[in-house]
A and B are shown apart, each in its own frame.
Chain A
């Protein structure tokens, strides 16, 4: 029942949009569905010489996955260290909190200067966007591992490594997973920011910017819808895993 309920509002919005577009009758305020739908219905056709929706989506996904994977590879071990050892936490905390509020977009000029044109600078921006939620959630998750669990491990003879693999990681996993989910969401948002960088001639963010520069609003809206749909699909994937493996969260007794 609740799943179906979630579909009601989008459908209402689409109907409402079309009605409003007809009433407003100025396609610059509100383009009619008829201009946007054709773009969505031919996802394999080239758009303005920049490639098809599908091509661009795949390119963006590839870049996001790279940046995200890199962020996770750095944030999770660091987060575990910071969560476990107060010394590490105290060492890194102030610096991290200093950088966290800076929007990824602000890093663009520096990214260009350091990494030149190319995929590295794009991946860097996405990395910056993803790393903080993953890191913070990992630290939280590790801190949230009950001392009693660790003591159970110790008294049963577990060494440091076993404590890490059999107590800390599984105990912190649900919170880390949430961090990954949020981190991926932000990475996906950063796609547009990252693809504003000169150099890329493909990607959903690039497509939107390109269409913007030529004033092609219907393409922009189609791009936005695709970005939203992909983000939704991936988030659902994260949630499915959470449901399957981390159902025990919040029920610790």
Chain B
């Protein structure tokens, strides 16, 4: 399946009736099972882009299609993972993971079985009856991933999912995400402002300019995994990306 964005842009009026352009027209084609990172300076519109794809916001122009069929509302082919505060604190871990299936009317025994399966996949077997506030940040995000996987989407949309975690947990979670990705063969769109993270994870990195973001460059990372964070080749790519980011972050522009 392919995800195609065609001239997707976003403009809105502020309270003072000014027109603000958040996102310049973006065109992009994502292939099946690809891991795409969207990288850019703060405020460039990368999160907006993701939310438009997720159906949480409207595109002011352009269209999005999956396998040729256009989408405007939240599509069942996609699932979103937010940065934080996304688990329902009144539900157990298992109930959280089963949420999407519950919304679709699946019977309880089936839901429970699915939840247990995906919790096992993310390495949280045995935590079914815990509550979110009993878990660490990393564990919570794993639950969020399990919840997204439970509805068996084709595409995972991830909005800086590890941004609230400490450095070691973050690294560990990146490993685990790749592990899960290899097992489940999903297409992933991953928004981040961390160059290191993008280089470690992605097949391709879409670099956006400052607001209103348009595609500055698409960098393809050679496909070898597992990747050495400190290797020379990646250092070059990293330098290149950092230069671009610095360029876009410079207020003088």
Contacts and interface: CB of A to CB of B under 8 A. Distances in A.
Interface of A: 146, 148-149, 151-158, 162, 166-167, 170-171, 173, 246, 248-249, 251-253
B176 interface: no
B85 A156 contact: no
Contacts of B79: 155-156
B85 A154 contact: no
Given A154-B55, A154-B74, A155-B56, A252 B103 contact: no
Interface residues of B, number: 28
B76 interface: yes
A29 to B, nearest CB: 53
Nearest to B137: A253
Given A151-B56, A251-B133, A253-B132, A156 B89 contact: no
B127 interface: no
Given A162-B103, A166-B103, A253-B133, A155 B80 contact: yes
The 7 closest A-B pairs by CB, nearest first: A251-B133, A156-B100, A248-B89, A155-B80, A148-B85, A252-B89, A170-B90
A167 B87 CA distance: 11
B85 A171 contact: no
Given A148-B86, A155-B80, A166-B99, 20 more contacts: A149-B88, A152-B99, A154-B55, A155-B55, A155-B56, A155-B74, A155-B78, A156-B103, A156-B147, A156-B151, A157-B74, A157-B100, A157-B104, A167-B88, A170-B88, A246-B90, A248-B90, A248-B133, A253-B132, A253-B140
A229 to B, nearest CB: 33
B103 A158 contact: yes
B82 interface: yes
A129 B142 CA distance: 47
Interface of B: 54-56, 74, 76, 78-80, 82, 84-86, 88-91, 99-100, 102-104, 131-133, 137, 140, 147, 151
B85 A149 contact: yes
Interface of A is mostly: helix
Contacts of A154: 55-56, 74
A251 B137 CA distance: 13
Nearest to A174: B90
A149 B147 CA distance: 13
A167 B84 CA distance: 16
B72 to A, nearest CB: 13
B85 A252 contact: yes
A157 B86 contact: no
Q: Which has the most chain B C-beta neighbours within 10 Å: A156, A158, A173, A246?
A: A156
A252 B78 contact: no
A156 to B, nearest CB: 4
Contacts of B56: 151, 154-155
Contacts of B103: 153, 156-158, 162, 166
Contacts of A173: 90
A252 B151 contact: no
Contacts of A167: 88
Contacts of A156: 74, 79, 99-100, 103, 147, 151
8 contacts: A149-B85, A155-B56, A156-B103, A248-B89, A248-B131, A251-B133, A252-B133, A253-B89
A149 B137 CA distance: 17
A154 B56 CA distance: 8
A153 B90 CA distance: 14
B216 to A, nearest CB: 28
